[in-house]
Structures are given as structure tokens and as C-alpha cells.
A and B are shown apart, each in its own frame.
Chain A
Amino acid sequence: MNQFIKETDTVHAGEGATGSAQTDRQGQAPGVKTGADLLISLLKEAGVETIFGYPGGAVLPIYDSLYDSSIRHILTRHEQGAIHAAEGYARVTGKTGVVLVTSGPGATNLVTGIADAYMDSTPVVVMTGQVTMESIGRDAFQEADIMGITMPVTKHNYQVRDINDLPQVMADAFYIANSGRPGPVLIDLPKNITAGPATYQPLPKPAARGYKIPSAPAKEQVEAIAKLIRDAKKPLLYVGGGIISSGASDLLRQFAKQTRIPVVSTLMGLGVYPAGDEQFIGMLGMHGTYAANKAITDCDLLLAFGVRFDDRVTGKLQMFSLHSKKVHVDIDPAEIGKNVQVDVAVVANIKDTLEMLVQHDLQPDTKDWLAQLKAWDSEWPLRYHGTSDDLKPQQVVELLAKHTGGKAIVTTEVGQHQMWAALFYPFSRPRQLVTSGGLGTMGFGFPSAVGAQVAEPDKTVICVAGDASFQMNIQELQTVVEQGLPLKVAIINNRFLGMVRQWQQFFYEKRYAESRVSSPDFVKVAEAYGALGLRATNPAEAEEIITKALAHEGPVIMDFVVKEEENVFPMVPPGKGNHEMTLEWSEE
């Protein structure tokens, strides 16, 4: 038996995980006649309130049952929109996002989103229709082997071939999706199963034999960490999305305050530790802050909590944090030692680990170390050159932060604007930033904002987008308008695929191959869909339209026409160590 993996009965689900506890059995069996009826009844018992989906032939029986149900269905305009919306919903609530689509193209249109959820450990249950079992393997109309296609990008997947298996599959799917390291689980539903007869069965307890969740860390392991902290002079906390998944942000803050250890964060971890706090050094990695990358290079103890040493974080591995002892705590045993060898490896829930760590009296003397970090921060603070004529992308993010008091839920697309949002918006709570970190999916931000706004109807949700990314799922404007979602889109419009262009400028002699993109008139597009469209071309206008947009009750598309050819700095060029940052660029 693998020593890292012990089967336990305990559920280490994320905060707000859906359980089988909420049922709406009112003492009598609901009117279940078909497999689809049973499915809907099981979904309700699993606590599902909202489904993002798109109907089609193979799921007609399910949609027919859903028609009379209390479950809210959000009709997106593309299946990719549905899965990203479900991801957004899951990311802001911690609950499992649920998707329902038809077979064949409906299912394959989800693949990018499933892969995205897998990379970013987002709990999602995806239900796909399938052709009847009799037709499977005959290249039937709208048949696709979605089981085979999604095996590498799901935590697990099921095809229900017997209606009697459905209750257990549903229970296990929801449990697996939102326990341990969360992720997507797909359930493929042949049409004859959902159309066929069924009787009511309650949602059973999860019983996936072979599914293992690490238990709490051993006392000795926690003591080993404590000893390293006592001996450290330059300790550093490197925190990531795992802390958000396990609901351990408060504990992490308490631990950091107790020990006076400074904190750097991954993109996925932003919000775990408040940006405004003096112990927060910023995001690290390819576009991390100067001080954060200096800190990771110079520290003598690296406490890697709920992170996976992603290549965008580490830079060149052979140069990564060479002077530090390393502690890695992660719930996924396969992440330990995958990229970086560590001194103390703990396969456990970070929340359990922190609960034990805060019991220790640990007060390393970090005064000089904190002073050093402060010095680095003044050496090269985050900055840009603003003027009153040109609108700078960083400035747009700063203005958004100013006018939302730094409190908005921010989703992003992928590229330069994503990095500027990460660097210039002061995230202060977990689940405040929803971004595609691992897969880097352009087209993620706008539909994920849909899911975020559905989950949090009373909060301000802003999608910071690029002009190119926004066009990848622009059709979801109709979903937004139809649902009356008041979300605001801030397009950082630089007429380029900005990040591609930046790389071409630095590494391909300014040969801007296919990176210049044109866009429709976004204001007119917004109006055509029935949303409010606004445009700004200088800082004064930007302030004006942000104020107007935030006061508007409905959806708003803000088109910020910013300066072209602005670059994201710092930048760790590919193949370089984190300390070898490019801080400015001048053409020879």
C-alpha cells in the first residue's frame, strides 16, 4: 500500500461543498417515472440549485423532467459558455458547478472547459447525453466517445449503462468532484437510460471503492516543519489555490501573523492573503513582482502550501530557490516531488496542517528579512508610465479597483490584461479572483463571470477582458442580457493579442505575425444585444464610464481603448531563473 494514500472515512471537502445532506424528500417519494426523473430527483438531493446547459436530442428526456423542476437552468449560447459559467459558479462559491449538454458536438464543445477545470482543480459535475446503448459504437448521429476523449482531463468519468447504477454514480460523482483535490467528473447518459423506466431511489452515501483522500498530517511531520521554521532566518510562505479549495485562508493569515513570515502568492492563490498587508510581497513567477521573485530566490526556508511548482512560477527549475530548505504540503500525492525535490513532504489537507501548525509557538526573527523585502519593493515597485492623454491598461485596472473599493469579484480572460488585473487589483479575500491559471483559456473570463454573477447576484462582478479574448465567447452576451445579469465587462482594447505581441517584440524581432486583431465596435455590439455600451480613450473618460457603469443596473460593456504595445513587467524570460527579470525594454 502506498504510504501517502490512506483510505479514510473522513470527507475533506472544500468550503461550502455540496453534500447529500440537503434533500427535499417530503416524507414521500417524488413522482419518478423515468430515468430522467430519477436523475433530477438525485440532483436535488445532491443540493444542486443551478445547472448551466444547452439542450439537444440525446438529453430531451432530461430537459423534459427539468421543465417541471425547481432547479434553475441557465441556457448559455454555446456549450463552452456553460462549462466556464459552471467553473465561475464553483470558483466563487466552493460548491460544485453542474453542466448538462447533449451528445456528440454538445459534449465535445465542453472539452476545453473540462480540461480547464482539471488544471485549476475546479469542482464540476458534467452530464452529457449519449446515443442509445444500442447505437453506441455504430457512429450514430451525434455520437462521440466522450468517455475516451475526456479520460485524460477528468478526475473520473462514468457511463451509466444500467439505471440501477445511477444513484450510486451520482453520489460518487459529486463526492469525487468536490473532495480531496477537486476536479471535474463527467457522467455520460445514454438516451435509453434516461428515457427508460425508473422508480424513486434516494441519493446513497458515496462509496467509490479505490477513491482515496489523504488523512491529516502526522504529528512528527508538523513538528519537522516547526523545527525548520525555528531555525529559519529568511522564511517565505508560497501559497496557492489549494488554500482556497480547503477553506484555509483564515488559518493561513493567522499563521503568517503569528510567525511574521512574509507571503508570496501564485496567480491561483491571490486573495488568500490580503494584498494591502505589509507581509504580502505579491505574486511570484513569470510576471511576479520584483520583490516576490527576489524573495523566492533568496529565502532560506520555502513553505509551499497548496501549490504545485508550476513552470510559470518556478522559471528555470535548475535556478529555482537554490538556497532554501523546502516544505511542500499538498493534498495530491502526485504533486510531491513532481517538479521540485523538497526536504519535508506532507500529503495532507492544508487546513488540517495549518490547524496543527498554529498550535506551535513559532516566532523566528524575521525583522531583517522583512526590511530586506521592503527594500526590494522600493527598488522596483509595480509601476507604469501614465499620462493624461494616453490610457494605460494598468491604469484601467487601478481605476476599477478604486471605484469598486477593491471589493469586486474579478474574472479575467487570458493574456496581458490578466496579468495586469492580477498585479494591480488588490485582492483581499479568497474566491475574489476567477481566472484560468493552468490551461490559460482565452474565452474563459466572460462566461465565468456569468456563473459568478448567478452565484452572487448582489455582488459587483467585473470581467477584465482583452479585445481578442472577449471575442472568443462573445455570444454569451445574450445569456447575460436574457438573465438580466448586471455584470460589467472591461475590455482592455489594445488592438493586439497583447501577450503574443509582447513575446514577438522581445523574442521574434518585432515580427507581429497574426497578432494584430481587429474587433467589431464593442459599443454597438453591446447595444445590439441590449446591453449598455461605453467607450473611453483617456483617463478622464475612463473614470467617467466606470462610474456610469457601476451605477447602471444592467449589464455593461466598457471598451477601454488603451495604448498599443504596452508590456507587462517584470517578466522572467522563458528559460531564465526568477531573479533574471526583465524590467524594461528598449529597442536597439
Chain B
Amino acid sequence: MDIERTFSVLVNDRPGVLTRIAGLFARRGFNISSITVGTAEEEGVSRMTIVSHGDEAMAMQVLTQVGKLVDVLDVIDMSKEKIVKRELALIKVKAERSNRQEISHILDPFRVSVVDVGHSSITVQITGDVEKIDALIGLLRPYGIIEISRTGVTALLRSGTEEASDAAV
């Protein structure tokens, strides 16, 4: 079944490791919707979260092909697991004195922070799942969005599911 798939990949933090993984996805014909990389719990090790989509066979190829790379310590498919998924977005939206109040009302339930204020625009920082960010962008669009920068999804298994995932992959 073709579904959205979230892979978590633990890698040695070495030059070129991102190229190795992104290149492998490209040449095997798997697309990447988003990819995030940052240092993991251990020094010298990074965790990548890669969102893609495909069927079971594709997931198995990703796991085995990525797992084969020498700099990859571990790779799991979290698609069917209970996971915490978060993304951060910065949204610069037009905001004149006249409608600032109105925009502020829209922002309130999203628990965002306004991180920059200018004469005719404000920049909002929102954290949450993809749907929440999409929803806010949708609501702000009528006011005129100037720029958006999204980090892409990062994710971890929920507590207590690590073992289950070991068995499932």
C-alpha cells in the first residue's frame, strides 16, 4: 500500500553522509518529501528524519539499502508506529496597523510566538504537526504571505514503543 512513510536514520556524523543518503534515495527512485538532520543523543552521531511515500516493497528496499551504507548505524520505518512528529515554520505575513489586531486573534489558538515585528509585516514561529502548520498558513494567506520557511518533519517514537518497533521493522 502506497502510504506516507517516515524513516528515522541514525548516522555517523561525517562529511558527505547526507549526500550518501539523499543520493541513494534519488538513484533508487524514491522521492523525499522532507529531510531533517541534527545531532542525536550521542556525540558524533546524527539523527535524520526522512519523509517519503511508497509501498511495503519500497519501505523494505529503503531499510535494506540505507542500512547497508557503512555510515548508517540504524534505520527504522516509523510509519505504522506511535510517534511524535513535529515541524517548525517561520511565516512572514503582511500586517498593517489596521489589521494587526485581527491577525493576532487568528494566531491565539495556535499558541505561536511572534518573533519579529516590522512596519508592515510580522514573522510568526509555529511548531506542531504538519496539519496544524498547514491550517495556520491557510488562515493567514488572505492577508498576504511574504515568505515561509519550514524545517521539515522531525520525529521520535513515543515512549514505550521502541521495543515494539524493533520487532516490527
Knowing A334-B61, A337-B57, say if A5 contacts B67 (CB, 8 Å).
Answer: yes
Interface residues of B in 76-99 (CB under 8 A from A): 76
Q: How far, in angstroms, from A211 to B166 measured CA to CA in the complex?
A: 19
| B54 sits at the interface (CB 8 A) | no
Could you say which residues of chain B place their CB within 8 Å of the CB of A26? none
Q: Among the interface residues A1, A147, A337, A338, which one has the most CB atoms of the partner chain B within 10 A?
A: A1
| A530 sits at the interface (CB 8 A) | no
Could you say which residues of chain A place their CB within 8 Å of the CB of B27? 152
Contact with B along A145-161 (1 / 0, CB 8 A): 00110011001100100
| Contact B169–A2 (Cβ < 8 Å) | yes
Q: How far, in angstroms, from A208 to B65 measured CA to CA in the complex?
A: 17
Question: Per a CB cutoff under 8 Å, which of B12, B19, B57, B61 touches A210?
Answer: B12
| Contact A2–B75 (Cβ < 8 Å) | yes
Interface residues of B (CB under 8 A from A): 11-12, 15-16, 19-20, 23-24, 27, 57, 60-61, 63-65, 67-76, 166-167, 169
Could you say which residues of chain A place their CB within 8 Å of the CB of B63? 2
Interface residues of A in 325-346 (CB under 8 A from B): 332-334, 336-338
Q: How far, in angstroms, from A212 to B24 measured CA to CA in the complex?
A: 18
- Least CB separation from B74: chain A residue: A1
| Contact A2–B64 (Cβ < 8 Å) | yes
| A219 sits at the interface (CB 8 A) | no
Interface residues of A (CB under 8 A from B): 1-5, 147-148, 151-152, 155-156, 159, 176, 208-212, 332-334, 336-338
| Contact B70–A148 (Cβ < 8 Å) | no
A193 → chain B closest CB, angstroms: 15
A317 → chain B closest CB, angstroms: 13
| Contact B166–A1 (Cβ < 8 Å) | yes
A-B contact sample (13 more), CB < 8 A, given A5-B67, A210-B11, A337-B57:
A1-B74, A1-B166, A3-B169, A148-B16, A148-B19, A151-B16, A151-B19, A151-B23, A210-B73, A212-B67, A334-B61, A334-B65, A334-B67
Could you say which residues of chain B place their CB within 8 Å of the CB of A334? 61, 64-65, 67-68
A147 → chain B closest CB, angstroms: 6
Q: Among the interface residues A2, A3, A4, which one has the most CB atoms of the partner chain B within 10 A?
A: A2
| Contact B64–A4 (Cβ < 8 Å) | yes
Knowing A151-B23, A152-B27, A210-B72, say if A2 contacts B61 (CB, 8 Å).
Answer: no
Q: How far, in angstroms, from A45 to B76 measured CA to CA in the complex?
A: 38
Nearest 5 CB-CB pairings of A with B: A334-B64, A333-B64, A156-B70, A210-B73, A334-B65
Question: Per a CB cutoff under 8 Å, which of A147, A208, A332, A337 touches B16?
Answer: A147
A340 → chain B closest CB, angstroms: 11
Question: Per a CB cutoff under 8 Å, which of A209, A333, A337 touches B67?
Answer: A333
- Least CB separation from A159: chain B residue: B15
Q: How far, in angstroms, from A262 to B71 measured CA to CA in the complex?
A: 41
A6 → chain B closest CB, angstroms: 11
Could you say which residues of chain A place their CB within 8 Å of the CB of B69? 156, 210
Could you say which residues of chain A place their CB within 8 Å of the CB of B167? 3
| Contact A208–B57 (Cβ < 8 Å) | no
Q: Could you give 16 example pairs across A and B, Cβ below 8 Å?
A: A1-B76, A1-B169, A2-B63, A2-B169, A3-B167, A151-B23, A156-B69, A159-B15, A176-B70, A209-B73, A210-B11, A210-B71, A210-B73, A334-B64, A334-B65, A337-B57
Q: How far, in angstroms, from A155 to B68 measured CA to CA in the complex?
A: 9
| Contact A208–B61 (Cβ < 8 Å) | no
Q: How far, in angstroms, from A210 to B166 measured CA to CA in the complex?
A: 17
Knowing A2-B64, A334-B65, A337-B60, say if A155 contacts B166 (CB, 8 Å).
Answer: no
Q: How far, in angstroms, from A476 to B20 measured CA to CA in the complex?
A: 34
Could you say which residues of chain B place their CB within 8 Å of the CB of A208? 70
Q: How far, in angstroms, from A482 to B104 measured CA to CA in the complex?
A: 83
Could you say which residues of chain B place their CB within 8 Å of the CB of A151? 16, 19-20, 23
Could you say which residues of chain A place their CB within 8 Å of the CB of B23? 151-152
Could you say which residues of chain A place their CB within 8 Å of the CB of B72? 210
Q: Among the interface residues B11, B16, B23, B167, which one has the most CB atoms of the partner chain A within 10 A?
A: B16
- Least CB separation from A335: chain B residue: B64
B150 → chain A closest CB, angstroms: 27
Q: How far, in angstroms, from A156 to B166 measured CA to CA in the complex?
A: 26
Could you say which residues of chain B place their CB within 8 Å of the CB of A156? 69-71
Could you say which residues of chain B place their CB within 8 Å of the CB of A5? 64, 67
